[in-house]
Amino acid sequence: MAVIHNTTLKPTKLELLASWLPTRPWYVGTGEPALSRTGGFRLDDPEGEVGIEFMVATDASAAGPEPVHYLVPLTYRGAPLDGAEHALVGTMEHGVLGPRWAYDGVHDPVLVAQLLALFEGRVQAQAQSLSDTPDHEVTHSYTGDGLPAWEGLVKATDDQDGTELPAPGGMTLRIHRVLRPTDPDIAPSDAAGHVIGAWQSPDDTRARAVFATLHPAAHQL
């Protein structure tokens, strides 16, 4: 299990994201965001080397009556990931672990492999800020056969709505970047699998939305 350290980060994760988010095609704001971390979960790296976090970052500066909630999968590494320079969000100094390289996690094979395992229920989502604590708000399903293991670098593509990448077995993995609250009992009808997570709404209620979906080869996104 990953150990959560109560220590300092310079710059903070939100400071890194404030400059990175506006460069993404799915960012709906018009300027620098005003971010807060409002939810998400973690997954464990079986090797214990890579930090894996699915963060919900809420932007209170967005145009419109309501803030916008973004899903930002991140990985944290103690050394650069070869071939992933384009996916680097930034570097931080961790008060315990030292220099950390933060990546847009959809490009990191460790995160993708563990996310696919979560779809199948082979791993347990973990609380975002507590060590050795399962997050039971995260739900998942997968109706297909067993997914082959992920190997190699990830070729993820951003568009106006989110990020998609090829998954094993000819499937497509879709990461929903702008989160829209949904009925947690209604699974996406056109998906072979889904992951649903939660975050804290401005009115202090818990909102839930689809974080990621798996689509069969014939599905057109």
pTM score: 0.90
DSSP state of 28: -
Asked if the bond preceding 11 is cis, omega within 30° of 0, the reply is yes
* Predicted local distance difference test score (pLDDT) of residue 202: 83
pLDDT at 221: 45
How many Cα atoms are found within 13 Å in the side-chain-facing hemisphere of 49?
Answer: 9
- pLDDT for the residue 220: 46
Cα–Cα distance list, 141 to 39, 96, 144, 192 (Å): 21, 36, 10, 8
Check pLDDT > 60 for residue 41.
Answer: yes
**Strand, helix or coil for residue 38:** strand
Is residue 50 within 8 Å of 75, Cβ to Cβ?
A: yes
Structure confidence by residue, pLDDT tens digits, 136-181: 999 999 988 788 777 767 789 999 989 999 988 889 999 999 998 8
What pLDDT shows up at residue 61? 84
Residues 6+ apart with CB under 8 A from 185: none
Q: What is the mean pLDDT of residues 109-136?
A: 93
Which residues, 6+ apart, have CB-to-CB distance to 61 below 8 Å? 29, 31, 32, 33, 34
Q: What is the pLDDT of residues 64-118, one digit of tens each?
A: 678 999 999 999 999 999 999 999 999 998 666 678 999 999 999 999 999 999 9
Pairing of strands 139-142, 35-43: unpaired
Integer angstrom CA distances of residue 79 from 4, 50, 82, 115: 19, 10, 9, 22
